Amino acid sequence: MLNRRTLLAQTAGFAVMGLSLGKAAAKNLPGIEKAAMRGAINATELGVRPGALDDQSKAFTKLLRDAHDHDMPVFLPPGIYVVSNLSLPGRVRLSGVPGASRIVYGGNGHLIMAEQAERIELSGLVFDGSNRWMGDYTQGLLDLRRIAHLVVDNCQITGSGKNGLALEHASGRIERSEISGAADAGIYSVEADGLEISGNSVSDCANGGILVHRWQAAEDGTIVSGNRVERIQARGGGTGQNGNGINAFRAGNVIISGNIVSDCAFSAIRANSASNLQITGNTCSRSGETAVYSEFSFEGAVIGNNIVDGAANGISIVNFNEGGRMGVCSGNIVRNLSTSGPYPADAPGFGVGISVEADTTVSGNVVENAPLYGMQIGWGPFMRNVVATGNVIRKAGTGIVVTVVEGAGTAIISDNVIDGVQNGAIVGQRWAEPVTGDFAASGNAGYAHLTVERNHVS
């Protein structure tokens, strides 16, 4: 008779039989099918061996191709894997043990490249370029182009003979990763489409930290937030092309926020021909040239709530002669500037707290220890529609200088507090030459394009 006790016993027997048959069947399955039963591929089961003395490029290539064909993730156990010239298939999900799964470049070309991929996800891996030579055709240790969905998370990228991570037409996220020791830039992105670069550490790179570029000026939309960028050199030379912690070039609608940037040969944050730009809430220390720069043919830049401590110049929103215009500069602290820079300075020299030129408001900033000028408004005839109000300037060579060259547009300078300046509070200049008395005492002194009122000098 069938009762509850015999039914449970029979069910348990069938379960044990099924488990035994499953184990026996699994022993006869090839590696990829066994992995499919678990949901992921262990690289060692398909011939990729940590610590092997020989180059494992062929085994690695087959592993990634099999994973692509079955649309499965790959796990890389701890160890060192020497590979070269890997070309990633269209779908790759490769993960390892952070700091322990090391992919080391063996030389003779490139480490990893991908072109026209649907999905690339790399997490918990170390990519070590060993400072070895790389082919002319590759741009970085990881060279990833036209990637519809990219994730680089919790990785280390070190010792690249070119850029650490080179991206072209990429969309996705670069996050929580450490990039160091690149012979060019740590992260180089060109022609991005909705890229986010956040929470990374980029250090000790020879020419740049994080670069967001485009071939032609257009909307880019990259967000660069919460990164720590430090010790960026300018071995490639120039007067600003290299040596910047974060650099946007021709890239519109970019947000650069909440980063800590220090010890860069030129700018902590430099934007060239980048419109609709936001640079907010960053801390910039010990910049070799201008700490925060929006220059050349841009329209629209908000530079707010940043801290600049130590630089040759503080904040510049300039180049009206090239079409640079429309800005807001507010709530910043700029302090401890120097008259020395990385090259012999053009007039008027280094040591300027804030410089603006066209269609710009400057309000609520504090400038302290600017040896040349606390604030510079306009340059020659290049000034239009500037309002400077409610700022505090302490311990400057001259508090505020404003252009009085023929052709200069309107400026309103009001309700500022200027304390402890050496060469006048508010002075008119022709280019770099002072040509007026102190407007703080005399108002606009006959210059109809200026309104100077209610400033407090002590």
Of the candidates 356, 374, 367, the one whose C-alpha atom is nearest the C-alpha of residue 424 is 374
- The pLDDT tens digits for 369-417 are 999 999 999 999 999 999 999 999 999 999 999 999 999 999 999 999 9
Categorize the per-residue pLDDT at 32 as very low, low, confident or very high, splitting at 50, 70 and 90: low
Amino acid at 408: A
- Round the average pLDDT of the chain to a whole number and report it: 92
Give the best-scoring range by mean pLDDT among 13-27, 416-430, 434-448: 416-430
15 pLDDT exceeds 80? no
Categorize the per-residue pLDDT at 234 as very low, low, confident or very high, splitting at 50, 70 and 90: very high
| pLDDT given for residue 17 in this prediction | 35
| pLDDT given for residue 29 in this prediction | 45
- Cα distances from 249 to residues 106, 190, 212, 219, 270, in angstroms, run 33, 9, 6, 11, 8
Averaged pLDDT for residues 134-142: 98
Per the model's pLDDT, the better-predicted residue between 415 and 39 turns out to be: 415
271 pLDDT exceeds 80? yes
**Do 94 and 125 meet the contact criterion of CB atoms below 8 Å apart?**
yes
- The pLDDT tens digits for 143-187 are 999 999 999 999 999 999 999 999 999 999 999 999 999 999 999
Using DSSP, state whether 126 is helix, strand or coil: strand
> pTM value?
0.92
Strand blocks (E) in 305-351: 307-311, 313-317, 325-330, 333-337
Contacts of residue 130, Cβ cutoff 8 Å, sequence gap at least 6: 104, 105, 107, 159
22 pLDDT exceeds 70? no
Averaged pLDDT for residues 69-86: 95
23 pLDDT exceeds 80? no
